[in-house]
Amino acid sequence: METITLRIRLHKPTRTKDRLYRELTERTTALANNLVAAGRPKGLTSRTAGQYMPAPLPSAVVNQVIRDVAAHKRVERFRVLPPCFNNQTLRIQRAGDFWTASFPTHNGRVRVPLATTERQDRILEQVGKTVKQGAAKLYCKRGRWYLALSVTVPAAPCAGERVAGVDMGLRYLAVVNCEGETLFFKGDQAAYVRRRFNALRRRMGKAKALDAIRQMKDKEARWMRDQDHKISRAIVNWCLARGVGTIRMEKLEGIRNRRRRDRRDRGRSLHSWSFYRLQQFIAYKARLAGIRVEWVEAKNTSRTCPQCGHCGKENRNGIWFRCRSCGYHGHADAVGALNISRAISGLAGAA
Ligand SMILES: [Zn+2]
């Protein structure tokens, strides 16, 4: 079983609906902040929370706010607390060619069309059968409204017997190796785009265009996330086409307290590229496709000969790998991915 979040876009709402959602969000946020200001009173219910409500709210939403406030003990002020609906309050239904969601608001229940992706359709199709519906949050991002719906899906049946290794780096964001067959994702274009973003930001920094800089950062972050989605999707599809049942990746350490083990690690610091996120994307897409994910120790993967096992720094020369012992040679990143697929330094705990 796997719990994932579907970010489902609401089909462009009318102006009235847009205002309704905004009001609803303002009210849940105000209620949350009033509860915080009152010292998070205990034992409240939607009936007894009335005195903290600036304006009426549906009781199911109030109950969620009470729960959310209790769950975020350390928050002193909620900037926005999106209205949340549990699986009994939010109803998802098919209406001909599309899906609708209905949920309560302070102006009665509304039923709205959803702009789902094909993948979301497939999952929604199974709700109440193999997929379990969880809670959903209504939120706005860049002028569009979304429902973040959490669902629990069953693990798919095993996809195959073969094992693939995925290595990450800056020259190649990702290299996949399945029994010698490889797939490369070049990092140059990514580096180029990021340099351009950086240069633009610097120029704007001189002009003190802070809003524009923030927007540019958002844009870059979106672009990177999108790249991660595309690469991870391509990797999983490539693996499925080859009967891969297990994907192995190096266990990377956390963001700030990672120690630099060797020089090769430096370029892979998570500040440079979100390798951690890319791995997580690969992992969840793989699991949904029935591919097992295993984490291996990130040790010696780039300097060990896949043919004879000889390990040494000198085996590696930039982009090329050449074994000093047996003469085996190949692309260094492909060798890394191959060693990862074989888990030469052993499997790590869950990451
Ligand atoms: Zn060798």
pLDDT value of position 105: 96
Tally of CA atoms within 13 A in the half-sphere of 14 that contains its CB: 5
pLDDT value of position 203: 80
Closest CA to 318 of 332, 330, 308: 332
Q: Residue with structure tokens 């580096």?
A: 191
- Span from the CA of 312 to the centroid of ligand 1 (angstroms): 10
pLDDT value of position 245: 93
The DSSP 8-state label assigned to residue 55 in this structure reads: S
Burial grade of 274 (CB within 10 A; 0-12, 13-18, 19 or more): middle
Contact 66, 83 (CB under 8 A): no
Closest CA to 248 of 283, 216, 198: 283
Identity (one letter) of the amino acid at 327? G
Distance in angstroms (rounded) separating the CA atoms of residues 118 and 351: 29
- Span from the CA of 304 to the centroid of ligand 1 (angstroms): 8
Per-residue pLDDT of the chain (351 residues; tens, 9 = 90+): 778 899 999 999 999 999 999 999 999 999 999 999 999 998 998 889 989 998 999 999 999 999 999 999 999 999 999 999 999 999 999 998 899 999 999 999 999 999 999 889 989 999 998 899 999 999 999 899 999 999 998 876 667 889 999 998 878 889 999 999 999 988 777 777 777 777 887 887 777 778 888 888 888 888 888 889 999 999 999 999 999 999 999 987 654 334 444 444 444 444 455 788 899 999 999 988 889 999 998 888 889 999 999 999 999 988 899 999 999 999 999 999 999 999 988 888 654
Contact 107, 122 (CB under 8 A): no
Structural tokens at position 231: 């690469």
- Span from the CA of 309 to the centroid of ligand 1 (angstroms): 6
- Span from the CA of 327 to the centroid of ligand 1 (angstroms): 6
Q: pTM of this prediction?
A: 0.62
- Span from the CA of 287 to the centroid of ligand 1 (angstroms): 34
Kindly list the domain boundaries of the chain, sorted by start residue.
2-153, 162-341
- Span from the CA of 334 to the centroid of ligand 1 (angstroms): 15
- Span from the CA of 275 to the centroid of ligand 1 (angstroms): 29
- Span from the CA of 165 to the centroid of ligand 1 (angstroms): 19
- Span from the CA of 306 to the centroid of ligand 1 (angstroms): 7
The DSSP 8-state label assigned to residue 298 in this structure reads: -
Contact 204, 212 (CB under 8 A): yes
Distance in angstroms (rounded) separating the CA atoms of residues 222 and 19: 27
pLDDT value of position 349: 65
- Span from the CA of 186 to the centroid of ligand 1 (angstroms): 27
pLDDT value of position 35: 96
pLDDT value of position 258: 40
pLDDT value of position 259: 43
pLDDT value of position 270: 40
Write out the residues surrounding ion ligand 1, Cβ under 5 A: 305, 307-308, 310, 323, 325-326, 328
- Span from the CA of 254 to the centroid of ligand 1 (angstroms): 32
- Span from the CA of 295 to the centroid of ligand 1 (angstroms): 24
- Span from the CA of 126 to the centroid of ligand 1 (angstroms): 50
- Span from the CA of 348 to the centroid of ligand 1 (angstroms): 25
Provide the pairing of β-strand 172-178 with 181-186. Answer: antiparallel
CATH number attached to the domain at 162-341: 3.30.420
Contact 302, 330 (CB under 8 A): no
Structural tokens at position 160: 């195959």
Distance in angstroms (rounded) separating the CA atoms of residues 169 and 333: 8
Distance in angstroms (rounded) separating the CA atoms of residues 56 and 48: 13
pLDDT value of position 220: 83
Query: What's the Cα-to-Cα distance from 156 to each of 43, 59, 150, 162, rounded to whole Å?
Result: 41, 37, 18, 16
- Span from the CA of 346 to the centroid of ligand 1 (angstroms): 19
pLDDT value of position 257: 39
Distance in angstroms (rounded) separating the CA atoms of residues 314 and 181: 25
Burial grade of 14 (CB within 10 A; 0-12, 13-18, 19 or more): exposed
Distance in angstroms (rounded) separating the CA atoms of residues 337 and 165: 5
pLDDT value of position 165: 97
pLDDT value of position 272: 53
